[in-house]
Amino acid sequence: MSDFAPTLRDLRTRLPRLVEDLATLVAVESPSEDPRATAHSADAVTALGSRLLGGSPERHGAHLVWRHGDTRVLLVGHHDTVWPVGTLARWPFRVDGDRATGPGCFDMKAGLVQLFHALSTLPSLDGVTVLVNADEEIGSPASRALIEQAGQGARAALICEPSADGALKTARKGIARYRLEVTGRAAHAGLDPARGINAGVELAHQVLAVAGLGDGDTSVTPTVLTAGTTENTVPAAAGLAVDVRAFHQAEFARVDRAMRGLRPVLAGSGLTVHGGVSRPALPPTASADLYRLARVVAAELGLPAPAGVAVGGASDGNLTAGFGIPTLDGLGPVGGNAHAEGEWVDLPAMAERAALLAALVDRVLRPRAQA
Protein backbone atom coordinates (compact mmCIF):
# COMPACT_ATOMS: atom_id res chain seq x y z
CA MET A 1 0.00 0.00 0.00
CA SER A 2 1.26 3.48 -0.89
CA ASP A 3 2.47 5.94 1.73
CA PHE A 4 -0.15 8.20 0.12
CA ALA A 5 -3.15 6.02 0.95
CA PRO A 6 -3.89 8.29 3.95
CA THR A 7 -3.63 11.26 1.60
CA LEU A 8 -6.28 9.76 -0.65
CA ARG A 9 -8.56 9.21 2.35
CA ASP A 10 -7.93 12.79 3.49
CA LEU A 11 -8.73 14.23 0.08
CA ARG A 12 -11.91 12.21 -0.17
CA THR A 13 -12.94 13.63 3.20
CA ARG A 14 -12.13 17.11 1.88
CA LEU A 15 -14.32 16.74 -1.19
CA PRO A 16 -16.98 19.23 -0.04
CA ARG A 17 -14.23 21.84 0.34
CA LEU A 18 -12.84 21.02 -3.10
CA VAL A 19 -16.29 21.58 -4.56
CA GLU A 20 -16.65 24.84 -2.64
CA ASP A 21 -13.27 26.04 -3.95
CA LEU A 22 -14.25 25.09 -7.49
CA ALA A 23 -17.46 27.08 -7.17
CA THR A 24 -15.45 30.10 -6.01
CA LEU A 25 -13.12 30.00 -9.02
CA VAL A 26 -15.88 29.40 -11.56
CA ALA A 27 -17.82 32.35 -10.12
CA VAL A 28 -15.07 34.71 -11.32
CA GLU A 29 -15.29 34.88 -15.10
CA SER A 30 -11.93 35.08 -16.87
CA PRO A 31 -11.91 35.30 -20.67
CA SER A 32 -8.30 35.47 -21.87
CA GLU A 33 -8.47 38.82 -23.63
CA ASP A 34 -10.29 40.73 -20.87
CA PRO A 35 -7.55 42.16 -18.58
CA ARG A 36 -9.97 43.33 -15.91
CA ALA A 37 -11.61 39.89 -15.71
CA THR A 38 -8.32 37.97 -15.59
CA ALA A 39 -7.04 40.33 -12.89
CA HIS A 40 -10.07 39.53 -10.72
CA SER A 41 -9.61 35.83 -11.44
CA ALA A 42 -5.93 36.07 -10.49
CA ASP A 43 -7.04 37.48 -7.14
CA ALA A 44 -9.29 34.46 -6.57
CA VAL A 45 -6.54 32.00 -7.55
CA THR A 46 -4.06 33.84 -5.32
CA ALA A 47 -6.40 33.52 -2.36
CA LEU A 48 -6.86 29.79 -2.93
CA GLY A 49 -3.20 29.05 -3.55
CA SER A 50 -1.98 31.16 -0.66
CA ARG A 51 -4.42 29.53 1.75
CA LEU A 52 -3.32 26.02 0.79
CA LEU A 53 0.39 26.61 0.16
CA GLY A 54 1.01 29.13 2.89
CA GLY A 55 2.63 31.85 0.81
CA SER A 56 1.86 34.54 -1.74
CA PRO A 57 2.82 34.21 -5.40
CA GLU A 58 4.87 36.48 -7.58
CA ARG A 59 2.42 38.40 -9.76
CA HIS A 60 3.29 39.13 -13.36
CA GLY A 61 0.13 40.88 -14.43
CA ALA A 62 -2.50 38.13 -14.15
CA HIS A 63 0.16 35.37 -14.27
CA LEU A 64 1.07 33.81 -10.92
CA VAL A 65 4.21 31.95 -9.78
CA TRP A 66 4.79 30.24 -6.44
CA ARG A 67 8.45 29.24 -5.94
CA HIS A 68 9.78 26.98 -3.22
CA GLY A 69 13.53 26.84 -3.65
CA ASP A 70 15.21 25.75 -6.86
CA THR A 71 12.79 24.18 -9.30
CA ARG A 72 12.81 20.41 -9.51
CA VAL A 73 9.13 19.95 -10.33
CA LEU A 74 7.12 22.53 -12.28
CA LEU A 75 3.33 22.36 -12.07
CA VAL A 76 1.50 24.34 -14.74
CA GLY A 77 -2.10 25.45 -15.06
CA HIS A 78 -4.15 28.37 -16.34
CA HIS A 79 -7.10 30.32 -15.01
CA ASP A 80 -8.28 31.93 -18.25
CA THR A 81 -11.23 30.44 -20.11
CA VAL A 82 -12.89 30.73 -23.52
CA TRP A 83 -16.16 32.00 -22.02
CA PRO A 84 -17.07 35.73 -22.29
CA VAL A 85 -18.16 37.79 -19.32
CA GLY A 86 -21.89 37.35 -18.87
CA THR A 87 -21.96 33.59 -19.48
CA LEU A 88 -22.55 32.92 -15.77
CA ALA A 89 -25.80 34.85 -15.89
CA ARG A 90 -27.39 32.15 -18.03
CA TRP A 91 -25.21 29.21 -17.02
CA PRO A 92 -24.17 29.41 -13.36
CA PHE A 93 -22.11 26.85 -11.48
CA ARG A 94 -24.30 23.92 -10.45
CA VAL A 95 -23.84 20.56 -8.75
CA ASP A 96 -26.05 17.69 -9.83
CA GLY A 97 -25.20 14.50 -7.99
CA ASP A 98 -21.59 13.60 -8.73
CA ARG A 99 -21.21 16.23 -11.46
CA ALA A 100 -20.50 19.94 -11.44
CA THR A 101 -21.06 22.18 -14.42
CA GLY A 102 -20.28 25.80 -15.24
CA PRO A 103 -18.12 27.81 -17.65
CA GLY A 104 -14.47 26.88 -17.25
CA CYS A 105 -15.07 24.23 -14.59
CA PHE A 106 -13.42 21.45 -16.62
CA ASP A 107 -10.94 23.56 -18.57
CA MET A 108 -9.42 24.07 -16.21
CA LYS A 109 -10.47 25.51 -12.86
CA ALA A 110 -11.03 22.09 -11.31
CA GLY A 111 -7.43 21.32 -12.26
CA LEU A 112 -6.26 24.29 -10.21
CA VAL A 113 -8.29 23.20 -7.19
CA GLN A 114 -6.81 19.70 -7.44
CA LEU A 115 -3.30 21.12 -7.85
CA PHE A 116 -3.40 23.27 -4.73
CA HIS A 117 -5.09 20.66 -2.57
CA ALA A 118 -2.62 18.00 -3.75
CA LEU A 119 0.39 20.14 -2.82
CA SER A 120 -1.14 21.02 0.55
CA THR A 121 -0.78 17.36 1.58
CA LEU A 122 2.99 17.17 0.99
CA PRO A 123 5.37 17.33 3.96
CA SER A 124 7.60 19.80 2.11
CA LEU A 125 7.28 21.93 -1.01
CA ASP A 126 11.02 22.46 -1.40
CA GLY A 127 11.78 22.16 -5.11
CA VAL A 128 8.20 22.81 -6.25
CA THR A 129 7.31 25.71 -8.55
CA VAL A 130 3.71 26.41 -9.54
CA LEU A 131 2.88 28.59 -12.53
CA VAL A 132 -0.71 29.61 -13.28
CA ASN A 133 -1.07 31.82 -16.34
CA ALA A 134 -3.91 33.82 -17.80
CA ASP A 135 -3.36 33.50 -21.55
CA GLU A 136 -3.11 29.76 -22.27
CA GLU A 137 -6.30 29.68 -24.30
CA ILE A 138 -4.83 32.16 -26.80
CA GLY A 139 -1.42 30.48 -27.07
CA SER A 140 0.38 31.90 -23.99
CA PRO A 141 1.96 34.81 -25.89
CA ALA A 142 2.82 36.84 -22.77
CA SER A 143 3.56 33.98 -20.37
CA ARG A 144 5.72 31.82 -22.64
CA ALA A 145 9.01 33.34 -21.46
CA LEU A 146 7.82 33.09 -17.85
CA ILE A 147 7.13 29.36 -18.31
CA GLU A 148 10.59 28.82 -19.77
CA GLN A 149 12.25 30.71 -16.92
CA ALA A 150 10.20 28.92 -14.23
CA GLY A 151 11.10 25.53 -15.67
CA GLN A 152 14.86 25.97 -15.64
CA GLY A 153 16.42 23.03 -13.82
CA ALA A 154 13.16 21.07 -13.59
CA ARG A 155 13.22 17.29 -13.62
CA ALA A 156 9.57 17.22 -14.62
CA ALA A 157 6.72 19.43 -15.78
CA LEU A 158 3.30 18.22 -14.64
CA ILE A 159 0.49 19.86 -16.57
CA CYS A 160 -2.84 19.98 -14.79
CA GLU A 161 -4.96 20.36 -17.91
CA PRO A 162 -8.13 18.24 -18.15
CA SER A 163 -7.75 14.54 -18.75
CA ALA A 164 -9.11 12.81 -21.86
CA ASP A 165 -11.92 10.72 -20.37
CA GLY A 166 -9.60 10.04 -17.45
CA ALA A 167 -6.58 9.27 -19.63
CA LEU A 168 -3.30 11.13 -19.31
CA LYS A 169 -2.11 13.00 -22.38
CA THR A 170 1.19 11.42 -23.35
CA ALA A 171 1.50 13.20 -26.70
CA ARG A 172 0.02 16.33 -28.22
CA LYS A 173 0.06 17.75 -31.69
CA GLY A 174 1.91 20.99 -32.15
CA ILE A 175 0.39 24.05 -33.80
CA ALA A 176 1.47 26.27 -36.66
CA ARG A 177 -0.54 29.31 -37.64
CA TYR A 178 -0.34 31.18 -40.94
CA ARG A 179 -1.86 34.28 -42.47
CA LEU A 180 -2.11 34.61 -46.24
CA GLU A 181 -2.55 38.12 -47.59
CA VAL A 182 -3.80 38.49 -51.15
CA THR A 183 -3.57 41.67 -53.17
CA GLY A 184 -5.55 42.50 -56.30
CA ARG A 185 -6.86 45.68 -57.90
CA ALA A 186 -10.12 47.42 -57.14
CA ALA A 187 -12.58 48.37 -59.85
CA HIS A 188 -16.27 49.22 -60.13
CA ALA A 189 -18.15 45.91 -60.22
CA GLY A 190 -20.79 47.32 -62.60
CA LEU A 191 -18.98 49.82 -64.80
CA ASP A 192 -15.57 48.21 -65.31
CA PRO A 193 -15.19 44.81 -63.58
CA ALA A 194 -12.68 43.54 -66.14
CA ARG A 195 -10.24 46.25 -65.09
CA GLY A 196 -10.08 44.78 -61.60
CA ILE A 197 -8.03 41.87 -60.24
CA ASN A 198 -10.33 40.04 -57.88
CA ALA A 199 -8.50 39.22 -54.66
CA GLY A 200 -11.52 37.21 -53.50
CA VAL A 201 -11.30 34.89 -56.48
CA GLU A 202 -7.56 34.53 -55.94
CA LEU A 203 -8.28 33.70 -52.32
CA ALA A 204 -10.68 30.95 -53.41
CA HIS A 205 -7.88 29.32 -55.42
CA GLN A 206 -5.56 29.52 -52.41
CA VAL A 207 -8.16 28.04 -50.03
CA LEU A 208 -8.42 24.96 -52.22
CA ALA A 209 -4.64 24.65 -52.45
CA VAL A 210 -4.18 25.00 -48.69
CA ALA A 211 -6.99 22.56 -47.89
CA GLY A 212 -5.14 19.91 -49.88
CA LEU A 213 -1.97 20.06 -47.77
CA GLY A 214 -3.22 17.86 -44.95
CA ASP A 215 -1.89 14.32 -44.91
CA GLY A 216 -2.72 11.48 -42.52
CA ASP A 217 -2.91 12.82 -38.98
CA THR A 218 -1.53 16.20 -40.08
CA SER A 219 -4.41 18.65 -40.47
CA VAL A 220 -4.21 21.89 -42.46
CA THR A 221 -7.41 23.86 -42.03
CA PRO A 222 -8.39 27.16 -43.66
CA THR A 223 -10.29 29.05 -40.97
CA VAL A 224 -11.01 32.80 -41.10
CA LEU A 225 -11.53 34.30 -44.58
CA THR A 226 -11.83 38.01 -45.37
CA ALA A 227 -12.26 39.86 -48.67
CA GLY A 228 -13.68 43.01 -50.12
CA THR A 229 -14.92 46.36 -48.86
CA THR A 230 -18.24 47.14 -50.57
CA GLU A 231 -20.77 45.09 -52.52
CA ASN A 232 -20.15 46.94 -55.78
CA THR A 233 -16.34 46.88 -55.77
CA VAL A 234 -13.98 44.21 -57.08
CA PRO A 235 -11.98 43.22 -53.97
CA ALA A 236 -8.48 44.66 -53.87
CA ALA A 237 -7.42 42.65 -50.84
CA ALA A 238 -8.26 39.37 -49.12
CA GLY A 239 -6.88 37.28 -46.31
CA LEU A 240 -6.90 33.75 -44.97
CA ALA A 241 -5.97 32.27 -41.58
CA VAL A 242 -4.67 28.70 -41.58
CA ASP A 243 -4.43 26.27 -38.64
CA VAL A 244 -1.90 23.42 -38.88
CA ARG A 245 -1.68 20.51 -36.39
CA ALA A 246 0.98 17.80 -36.53
CA PHE A 247 2.78 15.30 -34.31
CA HIS A 248 6.14 15.54 -36.07
CA GLN A 249 8.56 18.36 -36.90
CA ALA A 250 9.08 16.92 -40.37
CA GLU A 251 5.43 17.51 -41.11
CA PHE A 252 5.62 21.12 -39.96
CA ALA A 253 8.63 21.58 -42.25
CA ARG A 254 6.76 20.00 -45.19
CA VAL A 255 3.70 22.19 -44.71
CA ASP A 256 5.84 25.30 -44.22
CA ARG A 257 7.62 24.70 -47.51
CA ALA A 258 4.29 24.23 -49.25
CA MET A 259 2.77 27.35 -47.69
CA ARG A 260 5.73 29.49 -48.67
CA GLY A 261 5.69 27.91 -52.12
CA LEU A 262 2.14 29.03 -52.91
CA ARG A 263 1.92 31.17 -56.04
CA PRO A 264 -0.85 33.44 -57.36
CA VAL A 265 -3.19 32.03 -60.00
CA LEU A 266 -4.68 35.25 -61.39
CA ALA A 267 -2.37 37.45 -63.45
CA GLY A 268 -1.45 40.57 -61.53
CA SER A 269 -2.47 39.33 -58.10
CA GLY A 270 0.00 39.05 -55.23
CA LEU A 271 0.40 36.70 -52.28
CA THR A 272 2.30 37.09 -48.99
CA VAL A 273 2.59 34.37 -46.32
CA HIS A 274 3.25 35.07 -42.63
CA GLY A 275 3.53 32.76 -39.64
CA GLY A 276 4.95 29.42 -38.59
CA VAL A 277 5.06 27.05 -35.61
CA SER A 278 3.63 28.57 -32.43
CA ARG A 279 3.71 25.47 -30.20
CA PRO A 280 5.95 22.48 -30.94
CA ALA A 281 4.58 18.96 -30.63
CA LEU A 282 4.75 17.13 -27.30
CA PRO A 283 6.22 13.77 -28.39
CA PRO A 284 5.67 10.47 -26.54
CA THR A 285 9.38 10.42 -25.64
CA ALA A 286 8.89 13.52 -23.48
CA SER A 287 6.28 11.81 -21.31
CA ALA A 288 7.29 8.14 -21.34
CA ASP A 289 9.16 7.93 -18.02
CA LEU A 290 6.65 10.10 -16.15
CA TYR A 291 3.75 8.13 -17.57
CA ARG A 292 5.27 4.87 -16.35
CA LEU A 293 5.78 6.42 -12.93
CA ALA A 294 2.17 7.65 -12.85
CA ARG A 295 0.93 4.12 -13.48
CA VAL A 296 3.12 2.78 -10.66
CA VAL A 297 1.83 5.46 -8.30
CA ALA A 298 -1.79 4.79 -9.27
CA ALA A 299 -1.35 1.10 -8.53
CA GLU A 300 0.16 1.88 -5.13
CA LEU A 301 -2.87 4.06 -4.34
CA GLY A 302 -5.24 1.29 -5.37
CA LEU A 303 -6.51 3.34 -8.31
CA PRO A 304 -6.98 2.07 -11.85
CA ALA A 305 -3.89 2.54 -14.01
CA PRO A 306 -4.53 5.62 -16.17
CA ALA A 307 -4.50 5.16 -19.90
CA GLY A 308 -2.30 7.33 -22.07
CA VAL A 309 -3.52 8.99 -25.26
CA ALA A 310 -2.26 11.29 -28.00
CA VAL A 311 -4.50 14.29 -28.69
CA GLY A 312 -4.81 17.00 -31.31
CA GLY A 313 -5.13 19.99 -29.00
CA ALA A 314 -2.09 21.82 -27.67
CA SER A 315 -1.32 23.21 -24.22
CA ASP A 316 1.53 24.71 -22.24
CA GLY A 317 2.83 21.14 -22.02
CA ASN A 318 3.90 21.56 -25.63
CA LEU A 319 6.05 24.48 -24.50
CA THR A 320 7.67 22.71 -21.55
CA ALA A 321 8.45 19.69 -23.73
CA GLY A 322 9.88 22.05 -26.34
CA PHE A 323 12.12 23.53 -23.64
CA GLY A 324 13.50 20.03 -23.04
CA ILE A 325 11.66 19.28 -19.77
CA PRO A 326 10.16 15.79 -19.34
CA THR A 327 6.42 16.52 -19.43
CA LEU A 328 3.23 14.68 -18.53
CA ASP A 329 -0.09 16.32 -19.40
CA GLY A 330 -3.74 15.70 -18.61
CA LEU A 331 -3.26 15.41 -14.84
CA GLY A 332 -6.30 17.58 -14.20
CA PRO A 333 -9.97 16.73 -13.77
CA VAL A 334 -12.07 13.94 -15.20
CA GLY A 335 -15.08 15.26 -17.08
CA GLY A 336 -15.99 16.43 -20.55
CA ASN A 337 -17.25 19.00 -23.05
CA ALA A 338 -14.24 21.34 -22.84
CA HIS A 339 -14.96 24.64 -24.62
CA ALA A 340 -18.57 23.58 -25.12
CA GLU A 341 -21.92 24.23 -23.46
CA GLY A 342 -22.40 21.90 -20.55
CA GLU A 343 -18.74 21.23 -19.73
CA TRP A 344 -18.67 19.20 -16.55
CA VAL A 345 -16.45 17.72 -13.85
CA ASP A 346 -16.62 14.32 -12.13
CA LEU A 347 -16.53 15.40 -8.48
CA PRO A 348 -15.49 12.14 -6.73
CA ALA A 349 -12.63 11.82 -9.21
CA MET A 350 -11.23 15.18 -8.05
CA ALA A 351 -9.95 13.63 -4.82
CA GLU A 352 -8.44 10.67 -6.64
CA ARG A 353 -6.68 12.84 -9.21
CA ALA A 354 -5.36 15.16 -6.51
CA ALA A 355 -3.95 12.17 -4.61
CA LEU A 356 -2.33 10.84 -7.79
CA LEU A 357 -0.75 14.24 -8.42
CA ALA A 358 0.52 14.56 -4.86
CA ALA A 359 2.12 11.12 -4.94
CA LEU A 360 3.64 11.77 -8.36
CA VAL A 361 5.18 15.07 -7.23
CA ASP A 362 6.58 13.36 -4.14
CA ARG A 363 8.14 10.55 -6.17
CA VAL A 364 9.80 13.00 -8.57
CA LEU A 365 11.14 15.07 -5.67
CA ARG A 366 12.24 12.04 -3.65
CA PRO A 367 12.92 9.20 -6.10
CA ARG A 368 13.47 5.78 -4.69
CA ALA A 369 14.37 2.35 -6.03
CA GLN A 370 11.44 0.89 -7.95
CA ALA A 371 9.82 -2.17 -6.44
Is position 370 within any domain? no
Is position 371 within any domain? no
Q: Tell me, yes or no, whether 225 and 307 share the same domain.
A: no
Question: Cα–Cα distance between 338 and 302 in angstroms, integer?
Answer: 28
Is position 59 within any domain? yes
Is position 259 within any domain? yes
CB atoms within 10 A of CB 161: 26
CATH number, residue 117 = 3.40.630.10
Q: Tell me, yes or no, whether 220 and 203 share the same domain.
A: yes
CA distances to 27, 86, 103 from 89, in Å: 10, 6, 11
Point out the domain boundary residue: 232, 260, 279. 279
Point out the domain boundary residue: 229, 264, 279. 279
Question: Cα–Cα distance between 42 and 116 in angstroms, integer?
Answer: 14
CATH number, residue 196 = 3.30.70.360
237 closest CA partner among 279, 292, 200, 263: 200
Q: Residue 101 is part of which domain span?
A: 5-173+281-365
What pTM does this model have?
0.91
pLDDT classification of 109: cutoffs 50, 70, 90:
very high
Instruction: Convert the pLDDT of each residue in 78-96 to its tens digit.
Output: 999 999 999 999 999 999 9
50 closest CA partner among 38, 61, 59: 59
Residue 162 near residue 78 (C-beta atoms within 8 A): no
Mean pLDDT across the chain: 97
Q: Tell me, yes or no, whether 123 and 262 share the same domain.
A: no
Is position 10 within any domain? yes
Q: For the chain, what is the domain count? A: 2
Point out the domain boundary residue: 246, 279, 312. 279
Instruction: Convert the pLDDT of each residue in 153-178 to its tens digit.
Output: 999 999 999 999 999 999 999 999 99
Mean local confidence (pLDDT), 3-27: 95
Q: Tell me, yes or no, whether 63 and 168 share the same domain.
A: yes
Q: Tell me, yes or no, whether 275 and 206 share the same domain.
A: yes
CA distances to 41, 141, 326 from 362, in Å: 29, 31, 16
